[in-house]
C-alpha cells in the first residue's frame, strides 16, 4: 500500500460545490423544471406587484440605462461604462499593495525576539485600528484629512489616490490576519527540518514556510478580493467619479434610478468571474489534499 500513486483519486468524479453537476437524465429534467418554476414565481411577483410599472420605469428603463452607461458630456453626466474603469484601476492597484503590506505586517507580528518588540506593538495597534474602524470612515478621514494637512505632494493627490490608500490600509489589516493564519497552518516540524539543515530563520521562512502558507490562504484571499472589488464603490463619497458615484449623479439629475442597476450589473460582471475562479481554486485545492491524504 502507499507505494503506487492512486491515479483514480486524481480523476475521481468531482462532488464539489459546482453549479452544474453531471447526473442522469432524470435529475437534469427535475432541475430544469424546478429552475423554470422558481424563475417563474420571481417574475410573477415582480410583474404582478402593485408598483411593478413604477419600478420598471424607475429602475429598469432601457433608455435611461443606456444613457447612464454612455453618459453625456454636455449635460455633465459621467458615463458609468467609463467610470467603472476607475474602480478596476483602484482595485488592481490596491490588490498588489494589500498583498505586500499584509505580508509585511504578518511577518512582523509573527517575529520573535526582543529587538522586534516595538514593531510587533505597532503591528498589533495597526491591525486593531484598521480592522475596527468602518472602511467608509477611513475613506472619509483619509480623503478629507490628508489634503487638509497641507503636506507638499501628500496633500495634492486626487480623490482616487486617497481612496485607494484607504482601501489598502483597511484590507491589509484584514489580510495580514489571513496571512498569519496561513503561517500558523504550517506545522512547526517544517521549520525545525529547515533549521536542522542549517538554513537561517529567514531562509526557512522564505523557501519552506511561506510557500506552503500562501497555498493554504489563496481561497480566503480571493474571497477578500471579491469584497474589495465592490468596496471600491465607497471611494465615490470623497468625489471620485467611479461607477457608483456616476450612477448617483445620473439619478440625481434625471430622477431615474436605472443608473444604479447599470452600476450593479457592471459590478456583477467584475465579481462573478472572480467568484467562479475562487470556487475553482478551492475545489482544486481540496482534490489535491484528498489525493495526498490517500497516498
Q: Which residues bind other proteins (CB under 8 A)?
A: 1-3, 5, 189-190, 192-200, 203, 207-208, 211-212, 215, 291-292, 295
Closer of 21 and 187 to other proteins (Cβ): 187
CB of 209 to other proteins, least distance (A): 10
CA angle, 211 then 212 then 214, to 5°: 65
CB of 194 to other proteins, least distance (A): 8
Residues 90 and 164: beta-carbon distance below 8 Å: yes
Closer of 215 and 283 to other proteins (Cβ): 215
CB of 287 to other proteins, least distance (A): 13
The grid cell for 293 is 491524504
Closer of 3 and 148 to other proteins (Cβ): 3
CB of 14 to other proteins, least distance (A): 20
Closer of 31 and 200 to other proteins (Cβ): 200
Closer of 30 and 294 to other proteins (Cβ): 294
CB of 114 to other proteins, least distance (A): 15
CB of 206 to other proteins, least distance (A): 8
Closer of 169 and 186 to other proteins (Cβ): 186
Amino acid at each position: 500500500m502507499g507505494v503506487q500513486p492512486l491515479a483514480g483519486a486524481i480523476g475521481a468524479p468531482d462532488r464539489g460545490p459546482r453549479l452544474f453537476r453531471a447526473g442522469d437524465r432524470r435529475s437534469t429534467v427535475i432541475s430544469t423544471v424546478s429552475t423554470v418554476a422558481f424563475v417563474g414565481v420571481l417574475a410573477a411577483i415582480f410583474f404582478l406587484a402593485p408598483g411593478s410599472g413604477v419600478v420598471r420605469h424607475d429602475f429598469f428603463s432601457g433608455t435611461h440605462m443606456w444613457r447612464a452607461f454612455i453618459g453625456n458630456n454636455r449635460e455633465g453626466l459621467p458615463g458609468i461604462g467609463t467610470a467603472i474603469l476607475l474602480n478596476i484601476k483602484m482595485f488592481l492597484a490596491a490588490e498588489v499593495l494589500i498583498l505586500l503590506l499584509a505580508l509585511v505586517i504578518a511577518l512582523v507580528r509573527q517575529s520573535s525576539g526582543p529587538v522586534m518588540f516595538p514593531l510587533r506593538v505597532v503591528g498589533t495597534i495597526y491591525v486593531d485600528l484598521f480592522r475596527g474602524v468602518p472602511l467608509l470612515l477611513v475613506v472619509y478621514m483619509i480623503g478629507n484629512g490628508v489634503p487638509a494637512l497641507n503636506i507638499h505632494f501628500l496633500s495634492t493627490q486626487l480623490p482616487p489616490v486617497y481612496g485607494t490608500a484607504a482601501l489598502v490600509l483597511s484590507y491589509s489589516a484584514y489580510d495580514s490576519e489571513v496571512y498569519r493564519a496561513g503561517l500558523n497552518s504550517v506545522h512547526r516540524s517544517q521549520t525545525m527540518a529547515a533549521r536542522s539543515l542549517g538554513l537561517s530563520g529567514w531562509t526557512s521562512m522564505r523557501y519552506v514556510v511561506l510557500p506552503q502558507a500562501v497555498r493554504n490562504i489563496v481561497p480566503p484571499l480571493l474571497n477578500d478580493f471579491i469584497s474589495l472589488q465592490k468596496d471600491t464603490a465607497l471611494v465615490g463619497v470623497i468625489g471620485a467619479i467611479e461607477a457608483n458615484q456616476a450612477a448617483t449623479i445620473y439619478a440625481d439629475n434625471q430622477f431615474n434610478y436605472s443608473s444604479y442597476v447599470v452600476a450593479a450589473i457592471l459590478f456583477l460582471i467584475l465579481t462573478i468571474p472572480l467568484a467562479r475562479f475562487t470556487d475553482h481554486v478551492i475545489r482544486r485545492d481540496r482534490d489535491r489534499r484528498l489525493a495526498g491524504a490517500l497516498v
